[in-house]
C-alpha cells in the first residue's frame, strides 16, 4: 500500500511535527487524527484534480502561478525546502468548483502544504467546514482563532456570507471563505514573511481577483516589480480588508431582496379572505413566510458573527504590527469602521424585519385556521342534513313496516278462506231458481269448522316464527308494542342522540 492509499500515513508527518511548532496544550493529536480520517474524504477531492494558485511578493518582483495538476503542486511543496530570500508575502489560494463541492486539492497535496508551513491546527476546523453549505449550527460562528508564540502571530477564521449568483429562481447563495494567516517575524537566521491560505467556494472568487489586483499582480508569466518590506507589510494587512469587504456589503442587498419578497407575501396575506382562499394557497403563503423568516434569522446570526469577527480582528492585527493604541488599531485594518457600521445597520434591519415576518405568519395562520373552521362548519351542516334525512327515511321505513304488518294480518285472515273456497268450490252455496236467490247449503258448518282453525293455526305459526327470531337474535319479544326508542338498535339510538344534541 502506497502513501496515497493510506490516509493515516498521509497526515501522520504533519501531526508528529505539531508539538515542536505549537503549544501542545491547545490541541489533542488523537482528535485531530480522527477529524482528518472522518472529515477529509468529504472536504478534499478524491480525483486527481488540482486548482491551487501560489502568489509571491518578493523584494524585487511579484509573480503568481496556477497549479492545475497534483504533481506540479507536490513538486513545488517538496522542492521549496527553505523560504527564499526576499520573500515578503505568499498567498496559497485553494478553489472549489461549488460551495458544496470538495476543494480541488488532493489529500496528499494538502498534507504536504500543512506540513511544509507548520500550519496551526486551529485551521483544521475551518478546512473541515467546506464541502457543504453554511451549516445552521455554525452560521454565527466564525471559528476565529488567534495565537501568538515566539513573536509569531497565527490567525484563522471563516467568513459566512451570501453572494448574488444571478440565477432566476434562487438568485442568492450561502457561502463561506476560509482564511489562515501566519505572520512570521524576522529573526537572525530566517527572514520574516506573511503566509496566507485562502479557501474559495468557487473558481471565480471576487476576493481572489481583488487580492491579486491589490497586490499589483497580473495573471501572466511576466514578472512585476517587487515591494519593499514596509509596503509588503501594509499589503499583507490589505488581504484581510479585501476578503471582508468583498462579501460583508452583500448583506444589505440580500436584506433588500428578503424585504421585497416579504412585502409581496405580506400584501397577499392582508387581502386574503378565509372564505375565498383555498387551504393550499394559505398553506403555501405560510410556508413561504416561514422560509423567509428562517433566512432572516440566519442573516441576523451571520451578521452578528461577522461583527464579532471584524471587532476581534482589528486589535489582533494591530498587535501583530506592534500598534497598541486605538488610533493605530483602527489604521491597522483599513475600512473596518465602515464594515462595523454596515453590519450594525444590517443587524438592526433584521431586528425590525423578523417581528414583521412573524406577524404576517400569524395572520396567514389565522386565515388558514378560519378557513378550516368554515370547512368544519360546512361539514357539520351537511352531516346534520344527512342525519335528518336518515331519520325521515327511518320513520318512513317504520311506517312501511307497520303497513306491511297490517297487510300480513289481513292476508292471514283472507288467505285461509280463499284456500277453503278453492278447496270446496261452490258446493256450499246453491242458487234456487224458484226463489231467485242463493241458498246456503246445510253443510256450510263444514266450511266454518275448517276455515276458523286454519286461520288460527296460520296466525299462531306467524307468532311462533317472530318469537323464535327474537329468541335467536337475543332480543326482547314485543309483538304487540309500538316501535319506539326501545325497539331501535344501538347505532340508531346513537344517531338519534347526536341529532337531538345538535
- From first to last of the 502 residues of the chain, give the pLDDT tens digit: 444 556 778 898 998 888 888 888 888 888 888 888 888 888 998 877 899 999 988 887 888 889 998 899 998 888 865 677 778 889 999 999 887 889 999 999 999 999 999 899 999 999 998 877 777 777 888 899 888 877 788 999 999 999 998 888 889 999 999 999 998 876 656 677 889 999 999 888 888 888 888 887 765 544 555 545 555 566 778 888 889 988 998 999 999 999 999 998 888 877 777 666 677 777 888 888 899 999 999 999 999 999 999 988 888 776 666 544 444 444 556 678 888 999 999 999 999 999 999 988 888 777 777 777 777 778 888 888 888 888 888 877 776 776 677 677 777 677 777 776 776 665 666 667 777 777 777 777 777 787 788 888 878 887 888 788 788 878 787 766 665 554 455 544 554 554 444 4
Backbone φ and ψ of 59, nearest 5°:
-65, -35
317, 237 in Cβ contact below 8 A? yes
Q: State residue 221's pLDDT score.
A: 43
In the DSSP assignment, the letter for residue 84 is P
Cell numbers 511544509 correspond to 116
32, 14 in Cβ contact below 8 A? no
Q: State residue 328's pLDDT score.
A: 44
- Per-residue b/e over 25-59, b at no fewer than 16 CB within 10 Å? eebeeeebeebbeebbeebbbeeeebbbbbbbbbe
Q: State residue 323's pLDDT score.
A: 47
Q: What is the DSSP string of 367-426?
A: HHHHHHHHHHHHHHHHHHHHHHHHHHHHHHHHHHHHHHHHHHHHHHHHHHHHHHHHHHTT
1-247 carries CATH number 3.30.460.20: yes
131 φ/ψ sector (left φ>0, alpha ψ -120 to 50, else beta): left
**CA 314 to CA 331: how far, in whole Å?**
9
Beta strand pairing call for 87-94 and 193-199? parallel
- Per-residue b/e over 124-133, b at no fewer than 16 CB within 10 Å? bbbbbbbbee
The torsion angle over the Cα atoms of residues 236, 241, 247 and 252, rounded to 10 degrees, is 180
64, 212 in Cβ contact below 8 A? yes
**CA 291 to CA 299: how far, in whole Å?**
12
Query: In terms of Cα–Cα distance, which of 308, 309, 315 is closest to 333?
Result: 315
**CA 380 to CA 375: how far, in whole Å?**
9
Q: How many CB atoms lie within 10 A of CB 334?
A: 16
| Measured CA angle at 500 (ends 495, 501), to 5 deg | 100
Q: State residue 322's pLDDT score.
A: 57
Contacts of 387 (CB under 8 A, 6+ apart): 495, 498, 499, 502
346, 288 in Cβ contact below 8 A? no
Question: pTM for the complete prediction?
Answer: 0.71
Query: In terms of Cα–Cα distance, which of 81, 112, 33, 101 is closest to 92?
Result: 112
Contacts of 473 (CB under 8 A, 6+ apart): none
End-to-end CA distance of the chain: 81
Q: What is the DSSP string of 1-68?
A: --TTT-HHHHHHHHHHHHHHHS-GGG--HHHHHHHHHHHHHHHB-SSS---EEEEEEESSEEEEEEE-
256, 349 in Cβ contact below 8 A? no
Domain segments of the chain as ranges: 1-247, 408-501
Backbone φ and ψ of 234, nearest 5°:
-65, -35
Amino acid at each position: 500500500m502506497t502513501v496515497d492509499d493510506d490516509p493515516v500515513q498521509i497526515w501522520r508527518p504533519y501531526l508528529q511535527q505539531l508539538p515542536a511548532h505549537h503549544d501542545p496544550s491547545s490541541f489533542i493529536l488523537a482528535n485531530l487524527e480522527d477529524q482528518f480520517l472522518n472529515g477529509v474524504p468529504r472536504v478534499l477531492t478524491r480525483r486527481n484534480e488540482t486548482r491551487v494558485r501560489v502568489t509571491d511578493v518578493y523584494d524585487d518582483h511579484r509573480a503568481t502561478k496556477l497549479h492545475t495538476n497534483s504533481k506540479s503542486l507536490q513538486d513545488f511543496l517538496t522542492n521549496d525546502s527553505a523560504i527564499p530570500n526576499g520573500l515578503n508575502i505568499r498567498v496559497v489560494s485553494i478553489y472549489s468548483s461549488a460551495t458544496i463541492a470538495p476543494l480541488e486539492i488532493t489529500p496528499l497535496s494538502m498534507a504536504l502544504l500543512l506540513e511544509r508551513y507548520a500550519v496551526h491546527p486551529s485551521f483544521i476546523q475551518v478546512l473541515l467546514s467546506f464541502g457543504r453549505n453554511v451549516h445552521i449550527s455554525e452560521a454565527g460562528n466564525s471559528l476565529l482563532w488567534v495565537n501568538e508564540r515566539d513573536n509569531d502571530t497565527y490567525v484563522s477564521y471563516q467568513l459566512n456570507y451570501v453572494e448574488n449568483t444571478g440565477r432566476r429562481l434562487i438568485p442568492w447563495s450561502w457561502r463561506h471563505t476560509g482564511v489562515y494567516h501566519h505572520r512570521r517575524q524576522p529573526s537572525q537566521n530566517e527572514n520574516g514573511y506573511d503566509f496566507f491560505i485562502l479557501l474559495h467556494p468557487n473558481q471565480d472568487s471576487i476576493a481572489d481577483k481583488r487580492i491579486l489586483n491589490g497586490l499589483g499582480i497580473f495573471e501572466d508569466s511576466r514578472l512585476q516589480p517587487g515591494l519593499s518590506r514596509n509596503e509588503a507589510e501594509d499589503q499583507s494587512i490589505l488581504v484581510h480588508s479585501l476578503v471582508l469587504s468583498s462579501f460583508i456589503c452583500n448583506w444589505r442587498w440580500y436584506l433588500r431582496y428578503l424585504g421585497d419578497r416579504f412585502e409581496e407575501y405580506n400584501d397577499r396575506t392582508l387581502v386574503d379572505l378565509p372564505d375565498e382562499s383555498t387551504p393550499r394557497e394559505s398553506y403555501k403563503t405560510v410556508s413561504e413566510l416561514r422560509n423567509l423568516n428562517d433566512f432572516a434569522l440566519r442573516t441576523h446570526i451571520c451578521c452578528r458573527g461577522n461583527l464579532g469577527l471584524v471587532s476581534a480582528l482589528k486589535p489582533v492585527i494591530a498587535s501583530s504590527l506592534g500598534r497598541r493604541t486605538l488610533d493605530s488599531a483602527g489604521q491597522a485594518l483599513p475600512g473596518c469602521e465602515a464594515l462595523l457600521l454596515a453590519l450594525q445597520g444590517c443587524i438592526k434591519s433584521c431586528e425590525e424585519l423578523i417581528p414583521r415576518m412573524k406577524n404576517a405568519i400569524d395572520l396567514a395562520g389565522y386565515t388558514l385556521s378560519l378557513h378550516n373552521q368554515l370547512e368544519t362548519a360546512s361539514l357539520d351542516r351537511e352531516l346534520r342534513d344527512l342525519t335528518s334525512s336518515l331519520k325521515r327515511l327511518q320513520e318512513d321505513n317504520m311506517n312501511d313496516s307497520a303497513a306491511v304488518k297490517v297487510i300480513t294480518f289481513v292476508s292471514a285472515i283472507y288467505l285461509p278462506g280463499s284456500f277453503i273456497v278453492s278447496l270446496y268450490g261452490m258446493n256450499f252455496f246453491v242458487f234456487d231458481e224458484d226463489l231467485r236467490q242463493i241458498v246456503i247449503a246445510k253443510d256450510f258448518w263444514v266450511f266454518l269448522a275448517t276455515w276458523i282453525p286454519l286461520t288460527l293455526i296460520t296466525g299462531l305459526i306467524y307468532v311462533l316464527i317472530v318469537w323464535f327470531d327474537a329468541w335467536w337474535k337475543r332480543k326482547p319479544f314485543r309483538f304487540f308494542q309500538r316501535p319506539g326508542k326501545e325497539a331501535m338498535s344501538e347505532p340508531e339510538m346513537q344517531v338519534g342522540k347526536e341529532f337531538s344534541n345538535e
